[in-house]
Structure 1
Amino acid sequence: MVRSRRRRRKAAGKPLVLGVSGLVAVGAAAYGLFAVSTPPVVRVSAPVPVVASPSPSPVSAVEALPSKHTDRRAADYFKKRWSDKAATRLKDIRTVGGYLRIYTDLPESANNSKEALTLCERGLEYLREAGVAEPVVFVQAEFGENGNPVLANVLGASDTDCRVTHPDLD
Structure 2
Amino acid sequence: MAEISVGVACLALGGAAVALPLLRPDAPDAPVATASATPAELDVADVGQSEQPEPAVTKAAGKSKYTSESAVAYFNEHWSDKTNGRVTDIRTTGRYLRIYTNLPESANNSKTALRLCERGLLYLASTGERDPVVFVQAEFGENGNPVLANILGRDDRDCRVTHPEPRS
- Normalising by the smaller structure, the TM-score range is 0.5 to 0.7
2:80 — aligned with what?
Answer: 83
Q: Which has the higher contact order (CA 8 A, sep 6+)?
A: 2
1:93 — aligned with what?
Answer: 90
CA contact (8 A) 2:132 2:154 kept: yes
Q: CA RMSD in A?
A: 1.6
* 1:98 positional shift: 3.1
1:108 — aligned with what?
Answer: 105
Where structure 2 has 5 or more consecutive residues not aligned to the other structure, the ranges are 1-60
Structure 1 residue 119 and structure 2 residue 94: aligned?
Answer: no
* 1:81 positional shift: 0.6
Q: Identity over the aligned pairs, expressed in percent?
A: 69
Indicate the SS of the match to 2:71.
Answer: helix
In structure 2, do the counterparts of structure 1 residues 70 and 104 end up closer, same or farther at CA, with 3 Å as the change threshold? same
- Distance of 1:167 and 1:68 partners within structure 2: 30
After TM superposition, where is structure 1 displaced by more than 2 Å over at least 4 residues in a row?
none
Q: Which has the larger radius of gyration?
A: 1
Provide the TM-score with structure 2 as the length reference.
0.59
Letter of the 1:123 counterpart: G
Q: Which of 68, 84, 90 matches 2:65?
A: 68
Provide the TM-score with structure 1 as the length reference.
0.59
Size of the aligned set, in residue pairs, is: 105
Where structure 1 has 5 or more consecutive residues not aligned to the other structure, the ranges are 1-63
* 1:96 positional shift: 2.7
Indicate the SS of the match to 2:99.
Answer: strand
Indicate the SS of the match to 1:131.
Answer: coil
